[in-house]
Structure 1
């Protein structure tokens, strides 16, 4: 894994490296062959979706030219979107519409302005992030309307679009057969796991990269087997939670002038409000419980929009033997 250290390091795992290369490929495919292929990338909260999008957009920044501002890659993070019109206005503002999305008499005029502006700024790749918000607490009519809008965007702009969101974002895509046919590439960001040696080593490499990025590698070996198991127990292998843990340990060590060791990480968890009985850095190894993602979260559609609900992800639980072997706690 490679690390890119700024305020928050971006860890390029093999999977995320593959995604970056695919993003490049979609742009080149459009430039060379005129084919605009689209992609759906899903994953749990904290799996690295938004960080991937931000990293790619930052490494393909806007270019100020004589006659225009060229935006090769646009990362747009959806907020609470209630109507197609609201989505269009918000996207126009993000791109830099001189009228800030105002002045249009109807959805058609907003849409035409968006199509024109996308072409003027020369967008080569559009990343629509957090698309699951369209499903959450929205009526079937709203979901269908925005799915239709996405399909039209693909047709009329001929720009590769990457849709990103929680695992149930697939329902938005599948709600429109024409939209579904236009999204050829579909990936789910895999979670870090602990149940096999090979997968455990992937997580240990992540810890090593984070340790190096935050300047801790000469003070502590986070990738060491017992420390890595404690970190996994504390975070369930979640990428964002793991990165935050290491970052917060770095900051606490500097602010409190503390030695970088297991006690420091225990103090970080204590600062989160976790009591001693559940603190992975205070418990004996054989008392640790490691939760590994088994089934992704989902969405339950109720009879009314406000009755919809998230179905939590399911986890397998593992323990650690005195010889640091991981075993399933459920037979």
Structure 2
């Protein structure tokens, strides 16, 4: 059983955010969309595109925390519930009707079997009564994949109406290829002028490498400050930078998972040390998709790591 002290330290690390340049630029785009909608601007919907593990969910969470928390309020006709932020993850193979129902259920509105027209009316009324200012539809393109042309048109019309009638900021997220689904219909694509992009880190150029190194350094400083480990490896040496990249392929979710698992091993050992062996063992215990080699990167030579990393990065470029 994990001790409360260890659990507290690991929980802190799990929610630690590094505001790297790519994150900062994406956040600025989403904040501009929120500012535009707050003054009644038209076509202020925002979209965030990026592959799995690039930080979309973390960015959405950080944006949502900039809004007020849900609370009870009061209107002349009685008390009501204020929900400034509404988050909904769109299930795969979703339909417009199923998604509309899910949104209503998220606001504790149970409608049962009703027509789509009535469900939409109730959704818009509930968003208004709850004073919702940010609506996040995570993986919205699930709604548009694999549908007939007629169903895609219907989904597009629903989305267009949602943007036009919702008095707040609509934010959708999706994989990079999902941008084409939004742009298939000009009347939908034109309503998303604010678009932010995230991608895996690269070290193919000096600037990219510096960004990745700053990311690792930020995590290393946080670990040093929070974990109370008296001895730790230098994670920003050339060897360790290349090893971390070779294992994670620049994917920030995989990097965060590796650091979490390695810290957990070090803390549970209880001798106050943090070793490279902790990283090797963590890499064996967790599945790291798209790793650049099956070898133990933390015991590989610097020359081997250079060959593994730079040959792959050149191919990707």
Band of TM-score, shorter chain? 0.7 to 0.9
- 1:161 and 2:170 aligned: yes
Per the alignment, in what secondary structure is the counterpart of residue 126 of structure 1?
strand
What TM-score do the two structures reach when normalised by structure 2?
0.82
From 275, 287, 312, the counterpart of 1:261: 275
Say which SS state the counterpart of residue 137 (structure 2) adopts: strand
Most deviating of 118-127 and 216-225: 216-225
- What secondary structure sits across from 1:92 in the alignment? helix
Unaligned runs of 5+ in 2: 1-10
Looking at secondary structure, tell me which structure has more strand per residue: 1
Cross-structure match for 2:125: 116
User: 1:49 aligns to what?
Assistant: 56
Q: CA deviation at 1:262?
A: 1.6
Distance in 1 between residues matched to 2:134 and 2:128, nearest whole Å: 11
Residue 92 of structure 2 is aligned to residue 84 of structure 1:
no
Instruction: Report the counterpart of residue 5 of structure 2 in structure 1.
Output: none
2:287 equivalent to 1:279: no
Aligned to 1:193: 202
Whole-angstrom distance in 1 between the partners of 2:287 and 2:121: 51
Aligned to 2:71: 63
**Which digits, 9 at most, give the CA deviation of each residue in 1:127-159, with x for residues without a partner?**
211123224444443333222211110112243
1:330, distance to aligned residue in structure 2 (A): 9.7
Partner Cα separation in structure 1 for residue 47 and residue 38 of structure 2: 21
Q: The residue matched to 1:12 in structure 2 has which SS? A: coil
2:140 touches 2:174 (CA, 8 Å); kept in 1? Answer: yes
Partners in 1 of 2:28 and 2:294 — Cα distance?
Answer: 44
- Residues 1:33 and 1:147: Cα distance change in structure 2 (over 3 Å): closer
For the residues of structure 2 that align with 1:273 and 1:14, how far apart are their CA atoms? 28
Conserved 8 A contact 2:43-2:192: no
Tell whether the 8 Å contact from 1:82 to 1:138 is kept in structure 2 after alignment.
no
TM-score by length of 1: 0.79
* Structure possessing the higher relative contact order (Cα contacts under 8 Å, 6 or more residues apart): 2
Q: Which is richer in helix?
A: 2
Distance in 2 (alpha carbons) for counterparts of 1:136 and 1:35: 27
Provide closer, same or farther for how the CA distance between residues 135 and 31 of structure 1 changes in structure 2, counting only shifts above 3 A.
closer
Looking at structure 1, the residues matched to 172 and 112 of structure 2 have their Cα atoms a distance apart, in angstroms, of: 26
Match of 1:149 in 2: 158
Report the more deviating stretch, 172-181 or 115-124. 172-181
Correspondence 1:317 to 2:277: no
Task: Tell me, yes or no, if structure 1 residue 176 matches structure 2 residue 185.
Answer: yes
State the superposition RMSD in angstroms.
2.8
